[in-house]
Amino acid sequence: MNPTLPSVSLADVRAARELLRGVSIETPMEESRWLSALVGGPVLLKCENLQRTGSFKIRGAYTRMSRLTEAERARGVVAASAGNHAQGVALAAQMLGIKATVFMPEGAPIPKLNATRGYGAEVIFHGAYLDESLLEALRFADSTGAVLIHPFDHEDIVAGQGTCGLEIMEQAPDVETVLIPLGGGGLVAGTALAIKELCREQGRPDVRVVGVQAAGAAAYPKSLATGAPVALDSMSTMADGIAVGRPGQVPFDAVREYVDDVVTVSEDSLSNALVLLLERAKMVVEPAGAAAVAAMLDRPHEFGTPAVAVLSGGNVDPLLMGKLIRHGMAAAGRYLQLRVRIPDTPGGLAKLLGELAALGANVLEVAHERLSTQLQIDEVEVRLQLETRGLPHAEKVVGRLRDCGYQVWE
Ligand SMILES: Cc1ncc(COP(=O)(O)O)c(C=O)c1O
């Protein structure tokens, strides 16, 4: 077979769908009125964050593992994953009665680790990034005979993830653009293949399929330009699900054939999309799962509608979520940090707090600084953290304090 032609067909995706009946769920497709207004046409969210195990990964993992022979099942399986594939493999192994060992990069999110162990898999930490964990999983497979369940570079994985594409075409038959988070390529390859081949089969207008990578871990653009998978030297992104340094050959061939564009998004866009999805769409997603929406926020008029954004996963560490919310709120002017000089006299602080109360700014923290050499003997510096109603309100607070004669630093 010519290695550069996609080795997965629409028939393979349809067969995977039969295997997955009663295993994965058909996830909901929700219209987002907030995004529709921004983009100027209907935007639908394909909610794989609500899939079993919290991401699309169960689709590929179960498809691959249910096709193992009795002898292979007896040897057990091994996988490498930052967390979502691990959960997919662990649940599939539990359902099929197979022993699973998973190598995770150190620093994998705690909820993903706990969930993987909860499904009964053994977890071993190795390496800083997925690519290193994967090499260790390969060594483990060589030395123990366990079958490696690759997170993206296998025909059955691509076919399983492609079932998401079949659902999109049924749930949004008039879709014009589909945006999908892209890491190693399994999800985009399978979904794009299913969508494009269905269009061809039904003789309907083509659908534009766009893969979205984190700018700090974007291996596809260079690989596509080169014509073969090329490894990145380094990666830096909070989106652990799509932090993959080298595309897989199987998905790469399908991406080359079926995907119209690959775009990248910044860390700021990812965190902004994640917080807006929470606030406006009531959707909990992880950073990788917000990538398609981040691309829409960056380029609201670039994608034809109706458009579908795949929310590929929702397994976010609550600690990270807390940090992102605080960061997002600060960027939106909802938190204001100030240093204000006041006279060191009785009632000085009370007067300042009275001004703030009259302005409707809520005080979260107050600290008194007396010992700085910058201060006169009769002065005190007050550090304040305030809650405001947004940037215009924050500007009004600072302006009013200055009008009252206070020296203020932001
Ligand atoms: C939430 C999420 N989105 C997207 C991806 C990317 O999938 P793929 O490696 O198949 O491109 C992953 C992979 O782990 C993921 O966990």
CATH number at residue 365: 3.30.70.260
Domain count of the chain? 3
Catalytic residue among 24, 46, 57, 133: 57
- Residue 3 resides in a domain: no
- Residue 201 resides in a domain: yes
How long is the chain?
410
Asked whether residue 268 falls in the same domain as residue 358, the answer is no
> End of a domain among 118, 152, 186?
152
- Which residue's CA is minimally distant from atom 14 of ligand 1? 241
- Residue 5 resides in a domain: no
| Ligand 1 mean position, distance from CA 312 (Å) | 7
- Residue 4 resides in a domain: no
Of 41-55, 100-114, 231-245, 311-325, where does the model show the most confidence? Answer: 41-55
Q: How far is CA 122 from CA 85, 100, 171, 402, in A?
A: 14, 6, 37, 61
Asked whether residue 27 falls in the same domain as residue 100, the answer is no
**What's the distance, CA 169 to chain centroid?**
23
- Which residue's CA is minimally distant from atom 6 of ligand 1? 183
Asked whether residue 163 falls in the same domain as residue 284, the answer is yes
pLDDT band at residue 5 using 50, 70 and 90 as cut-offs: low
| Ligand 1 mean position, distance from CA 87 (Å) | 12
- 234 included as an active-site residue: no
Asked whether residue 65 falls in the same domain as residue 14, the answer is no
**Residue 227: its pLDDT value, please?**
97
Asked whether residue 25 falls in the same domain as residue 65, the answer is no
Q: Are 57 and 87 spatial neighbours (Cβ–Cβ below 8 Å)?
A: yes
Asked whether residue 147 falls in the same domain as residue 277, the answer is no
Of 292-296, 320-324, 325-329, 365-369, where does the model show the most confidence? Answer: 292-296
- Residue 226 resides in a domain: yes
Give the pLDDT confidence of 359-372 residue by residue, as tens digits. 999 999 999 887 77
**Count of other CB atoms within 10 angstroms of residue 252:** 26
Burial 271-283 (b: 16+ CB within 10 A, else e): bbbbbbbbeebeb
Burial 11-45 (b: 16+ CB within 10 A, else e): ebbbbbbebbeebbeebebbebeebbeebeebbbb
On the question of pLDDT at 2 being above 50, the answer is: no
Asked whether residue 246 falls in the same domain as residue 291, the answer is yes
- Taking the CA atoms of residue 252, residue 253, residue 259 and residue 265 in that order, the dihedral angle to the nearest 10 degrees is 10
**Residue 172: its pLDDT value, please?**
98
**Residue 368: its pLDDT value, please?**
87
Say if residue 353 is exposed, middle or buried (CB neighbours under 10 Å; 0-12, 13-18, 19+). middle
| Ligand 1 mean position, distance from CA 235 (Å) | 15
Query: Which protein residues are within 6 Å of ligand 1, measured from CB?
Result: 55, 84-85, 151-152, 181-188, 241-242, 244, 286, 288-289, 312-313
Q: Are 245 and 226 spatial neighbours (Cβ–Cβ below 8 Å)?
A: no
Asked whether residue 164 falls in the same domain as residue 247, the answer is yes
Query: What backbone torsions phi and psi does residue 213 show, to the nearest 5 degrees?
Result: -115, 155
Domain around 188: 10-56+156-330
- Atom of ligand 1 lying closest to residue 161 CA: 10
On the question of pLDDT at 1 being above 60, the answer is: no
**Residue 4: its pLDDT value, please?**
66
Name which of 409, 389, 264 is nearest 333 in CA terms.
Answer: 389
- Residue 1 resides in a domain: no
**Residue 296: its pLDDT value, please?**
98
Name which of 179, 207, 191, 209 is nearest 152 in CA terms.
Answer: 191
| Ligand 1 mean position, distance from CA 403 (Å) | 53
User: Ligand 1, residues 242, 277, 311: which to mutate, most atoms within 8 A of Cβ?
Assistant: 242
> End of a domain among 152, 178, 212?
152
- Structure-token match 């983009």, residue found: 39
Average pLDDT on 145-153 reads 96
- Residue 391 resides in a domain: yes
Q: Which CATH number belongs to the domain containing residue 49 in this structure?
A: 3.40.50.1100
- Structure-token match 């305030």, residue found: 386
DSSP assignment letter at 312 = -
- Residue 317 resides in a domain: yes
Order of all β-strands in the sheet with 379-387: 362-369, 379-387, 335-343, 407-409
Sign of torsion over alpha carbons 11, 12, 15, 20? negative
- Which residue's CA is minimally distant from atom 12 of ligand 1? 241
Residues 6+ apart with CB under 8 A from 200: none
| Ligand 1 mean position, distance from CA 241 (Å) | 5
Asked whether residue 233 falls in the same domain as residue 320, the answer is yes
Catalytic residue among 55, 223, 271, 312: 312
Average pLDDT on 392-397 reads 94
- Atom of ligand 1 lying closest to residue 314 CA: 1
In the predicted model, what is the mean pLDDT of the chain?
94
Asked whether residue 190 falls in the same domain as residue 301, the answer is yes
pLDDT band at residue 270 using 50, 70 and 90 as cut-offs: very high
| Ligand 1 mean position, distance from CA 116 (Å) | 16
- 282 included as an active-site residue: no
204: left (phi over 0), alpha (psi -120 to 50) or beta: beta
Asked whether residue 62 falls in the same domain as residue 52, the answer is no
Asked whether residue 383 falls in the same domain as residue 298, the answer is no
On the question of pLDDT at 82 being above 90, the answer is: no
> End of a domain among 281, 297, 330?
330
